[in-house]
Chain A
Amino acid sequence: GQQVMQIPQYQHVQEGEDFTTYCNSSTTLSNIQWYKQRPGGHPVFLIQLVKSGEVKKQKRLTFQFGEAKKNSSLHITATQTTDVGTYFCAGPRVQGAQKLVFGQGTRLTINP
């Protein structure tokens, strides 16, 4: 079945360093969504990408959707302690489906 793989599984950085997590799908995605889950919290929607090659920015966060719509990345510039958490990507199971397949997530920890 369709899989959404995320790498790395864990990332530890020094505060101020950059961070990137990658998401790869075995099939073409109509769109991709990114969520953040703080420790002890619930997933919170960050952004959705729909177009091939799309790039969106939210302050220090940059999201990209691959040209083939099979991969995506989230890049955080100059991490801060508030960025700590697990970042999940999610894509629809199949075109037109309402079920999202979540990646396993990348857990980001930061040394202040």
Chain B
Amino acid sequence: DSGVTQTPKHLITATGQRVTLRCSPRSGDLSVYWYQQSLDQGLQFLIQYYNGEERAKGNILERFSAQQFPDLHSELNLSSLELGDSALYFCASSHGGEYYEQYFGPGTRLTVT
């Protein structure tokens, strides 16, 4: 158990819909990262927050947005969903910058039908 929690575990929705994925980081970790992993693919970095502020952005689509709240939990919002958005979405947390390891949550498997 990494100490990072993600809800829900599974999500099935239709194209065009909007969903929200939630992540609670490990106690004491200020950074939250979101990754997308499609079938048999690597980890695509989406976005990172540090103590409530956006710190780094990857190849995140405009239809996707995220935020980190004062209690440090984070939400990833995916809208106007397309079939290609079906993937595993991981949240990871770390204490801070590049020298800190990342602890991954169990992921949310999103299926868009």
Contacts and interface: CB of A to CB of B under 8 A. Distances in A.
Interface residues of B, number: 26
Nearest to B91: A42
B56 interface: yes
Interface size class of A (residues with CB under 8 A): 20 to 34
Interface string A73-112: 0000000000000001000110011111111110000000
B98 A100 contact: yes
Interface stretch (A14-22, A44-52, A64-72): A44-52
Contacts of A44: 2, 104
Contact of B105 (A42, A96, A104): A42
B48 A45 contact: no
A98 B98 contact: yes
Contacts of A103: 42
A42 B56 contact: no
Contacts of B96: 98
Nearest to B94: A98
A105 B37 CA distance: 12
B45 interface: yes
Nearest to A46: B101
Nearest to A30: B98
Interface in A23-56: 30-31, 33, 35, 41-45, 48, 50
B43 A43 contact: yes
Interface in B90-113: 90, 92, 96-99, 101-107
Interface of A: 30-31, 33, 35, 41-45, 48, 50, 88, 92-93, 96-105
Given A93-B56, A97-B98, 4 more contacts: A35-B104, A44-B2, A100-B98, A104-B41
Interface of B: 2, 31, 33, 35, 41-43, 45, 48, 50, 55-56, 58, 90, 92, 96-99, 101-107
